[in-house]
Amino acid sequence: MANNDKQSSKDVAHLAAETLNNPNASAIQKSLAGSVLSQAGTKNQTGANMEAKASAALKNPRSSEVIKTLAGSVVSQSNKKR
């Protein structure tokens, strides 16, 4: 996996932490939140599988604002060549 110059913002990382601590959060919310946190303060880059999940979440008109915020962060840190 290549290095990433972008990192999750503090606000989005905070939202991700709240999501992971929320017992009512869905599996996709927790998955996206985990990816966001793994990219906070590191040079980790989004993997292809997580990029596909985030992209699908962004395209889904039923996705919540939380999902769209987390997914947007994940996609913005993906491999630009994909």
The residue among 25 and 39 whose pLDDT is bigger is 25
- The pTM of the full predicted model, rounded to 2 decimals, is 0.84
pLDDT tens across 18-36, in order? 999 999 999 999 999 999 9
Q: Which residues of 5-41 are buried (b: 16+ CB within 10 A; e: fewer)?
A: eebbeeebbebbeebeeeeebeebbbbbbbbbbbbbe
